[in-house]
Amino acid sequence: MDEFSLISQLIAPAAGARADVVLGIGDDGALVRPPPGEALVLVLDTLVEAVHFPRGFPPEDIGFRTAASNLSDLAAMGATPLWATLGLTLPQPDAAWVRAFMAGLHTAFMPYQVQLVGGDTTRGPLCISLQLTGSVPEALALRRNGARPGDRLFVSGTLGDAAAGLASLSVPDPSPEIADLRARFARPSARVALGQALRGLATSCIDVSDGLLADLGHLLERSACGAELRIDHIPLSPMLSGMADPDQVLALALTGGDDYELCFTLPAATPAAAVETLRGHCHVTEIGLITAQAGALALRDSAGPVALPAARGYRHFP
């Protein structure tokens, strides 16, 4: 199958259809109508075989994950997802692979009606680059830099599951618990609705893609604050808690990547009812407090201070 048949037979038919797309796949560029009065939010994520997913990983999961990691960046900005462009580099024009990849991508896009409006297809080592555009009222965009001393620190969902799922990919005949953890790696749920609900409420927000300590560290750096983290309040799934010893579980939850949860801060005076509204979207847990000392991340449990683990999260260039 040549590049043009791949695009016209497999990619374009799975692209979706939005009223604000004037011209989608098929011309030199896409023409879209931005929502009146809103700012556009542009994000991009690249997934490389053997770096972000193992060789032979199911193409449907690769498609879903690629979409979810981008949707998660939009969620962390409080944005509404709109359009996508896709850079696809394939070792060979494998129709079955592309069909399955597009099915996964489409499944992740469907709840938000994201339309794939263009891209580029080339030959080379398997690599997927997806660019998403979303929108948000400019003044309401969530940023990393707005946390203030006294703010309450929260995280959505549970942490460490995806890292445990990735680590267990080579286990033959997985138990139902391991299968659940693997699904958290293969099919993460981006917290798009939560991100939008945080507009006008959260003082700062970041998505947890490289591990809580690493990503919280970025938020604190941009906000010039510190934090006190209650490690005994870190939300853990029953699957993960039941799988390994408590120290290993905590290390995964603090430094494991790929969970795509949101870490955010709320002013101390946020009414309890507002926090409850957030819980209508997904599991939300208070895990600490923002402090005044820039860059100081202190861990504690009910008994007192706890040492910081040496490894803080995934880095591509250590």
Give which of Mg ion, ligand ADP, none residue 118 binds (C-beta under 5 to 8 Å, depending on kind). ligand ADP
Considering beta carbons, is residue 28 or 245 the nearer one to Mg ion?
28
User: In this complex, which beta carbon is closest to ligand ADP, that of residue 120 or of residue 232?
Assistant: 120
- Could you list the beta-strand ranges (E) of 140-260: 152-156, 204-208, 226-230
Closest separation in Å from C-beta 82 to Mg ion:
23
Q: State whether residue 223 is helix, strand or coil.
A: helix
* x/- map, 34-73, ligand ADP, by CB under 6 A: ----------------------------------------
229 Cβ contact list (under 8 Å, min separation 6): 153, 216, 287, 288, 297, 298, 299, 300
Closest approach, Cβ 23 to Mg ion, in A, equals: 13
Q: Is 119 in the site for ligand ADP (CB under 6 A)?
A: yes
Check residue 16 for interaction with ligand ADP (CB under 6 A): no
Q: Of 7 and 190, which CB lies nearer to Mg ion in the complex structure?
A: 7
Could you give the CA distance from residue 217 to residue 261 in angstroms, rounded to a whole number? 15
Amino acid letter, 225: C
Q: With CA atoms as reference, report the closest residue to 44 among 15, 71, 21, 78.
A: 71
Q: Which of 89, 121, 131, 270 binds ligand ADP (CB under 6 A)?
A: 121
Residue nearest to Mg ion (CB): 28
Measured between alpha carbons, how far is 293 from 296 in angstroms, rounded to an integer? 6
SS3 163: helix
Write out the residues near ligand ADP by the rule CB under 6 A.
Answer: 7, 11, 25-28, 86, 88, 116, 118-121
